[in-house]
Amino acid sequence: MLAERLKGVIVPVVAPFTAEGKMDTESFRRLVSKLLARKAHGLIINGTTGESPTVGAEEAERLVEIALELRGNEDGTPILVGTGSNDTAEAVRLTKRAKALGADGALVVTPYYNRPSVQGVLEHYRRVADVGLPVVAYHIPYRTGLELGPDALAAILEIEGVVGIKESSGGIRNFIELGGRTDKALLCGDDLYFLAALCCGASGAMMASANVATERFVGVYDLFADGRLPEARAAFNELVPLVRLLFAEPNPAPIKWLLAQTGLLASDAVRLPITPISPELRRQMEPFVDVCR
Ligand SMILES: O=C(O)C1=N[C@H](C(=O)O)C[C@H](O)C1
């Protein structure tokens, strides 16, 4: 059951490009192998961090195939695929494709830009969940332009086939609001709130930062799960300066730069309109390169 495996540190994997902007599957293999070796609890392919707006459907499918091949056996680290769209029919089509490829679940962002009613959003998730691949809904108002209240989020979680929610509305309030209303997975999508969300009932986080220093984020989770909160706090506090820098400019450019410095990615290339990081941010991140090897 995917629902029980949605916990810990789930990493939305970056999509590496060559300096010329082509998909770089060799770097992707290296990165996924390292994330699995460092015991990430799950992977997301084609999330925001995987530059889903500028990665084509065929490119994304190839990355899913590679991740599943590297993961191997069916019960290992869950692999989810970003299949969201603001066109319900397209989200259904992409989710069917992810299911056919053998993914464990779909991460489906709330429809963005067209600002549907709550009724429309619920129908959107019903149609996508009907595909039969477990769905994690993704609430990220600052990107989508659609802020849903706790009642609407709870209603999404009631849909059969929706197994959890990735909550990124900039705080822990919705974890508190939803905690007593659902037993489905609540996952934090705001890296800075990782530990706070765990304390408020989240079962884990889907966080871009864990593309680097993966074992340290996993370490925070393990300490928390062991009931060693003061040590978890100390370990997380050490990561906070890094997390801040990773989001100081548009994600995933800072992460790609760090991964390229460690040699894991051949290039820090991003696709427009995302741009490479500034010289000033490079200077600030330089001290973290060794931490991220
Ligand atoms: O790709 C993701 O999934 C994430 N995207 C967020 C964003 O870029 O806004 C950040 C979060 O860590 C995970």
3-state secondary structure 64-126: HHHHHHHHCCCCCCCEEEECCCCCHHHHHHHHHHHHHHCCCEEEEECCCCCCCCHHHHHHHHH
In the residue annotation, 166 being an active-site residue is answered as yes
Q: How far is CA 220 from CA 55, 195, 238, 246, in A?
A: 32, 8, 10, 18
Sort residue 24 into left (φ over 0), alpha (ψ -120 to 50) or beta. Answer: beta
Give the residues surrounding ligand 1 with Cβ less than 6 Å away: 12, 44, 47-49, 189, 191, 206-208, 251
Q: Could you give the CA distance from residue 44 to residue 25 in angstroms, rounded to a whole number?
A: 16
Annotated domain spans of the chain: 2-230
Query: What is the pLDDT confidence band of residue 75, given thresholds at 50, 70 and 90?
Result: confident
Residue 144 known to bind ligand:
no
Does this model's pTM top 0.95? My answer is yes
pLDDT tens by residue, 98-142: 999 999 999 999 999 999 999 999 999 999 999 999 999 999 999
Catalytic residue among 7, 34, 125, 138: 138
The pLDDT of residue 291: 86
Q: Which two tokens stand for residue 182?
A: 């659902």
- CATH 3.20.20.70 for the 2-230 domain, yes or no: yes
Mean pLDDT, rounded, for 178-185: 95
Using DSSP's 3-state secondary structure scheme, residue 194 falls into: helix
Q: What is the mean pLDDT of the chain?
A: 97
**Which has the closest alpha carbon to 194: 169, 221, 212?**
221
CA angle 191, 239, 7 (to 5 degrees): 45
Q: ipTM for the complex?
A: 0.94
Q: Which two tokens stand for residue 208?
A: 């871009």
Q: Is the pLDDT of residue 49 over 80?
A: yes
In the residue annotation, 113 being an active-site residue is answered as no
Distance of CA 179 to the CA centre of its chain: 21
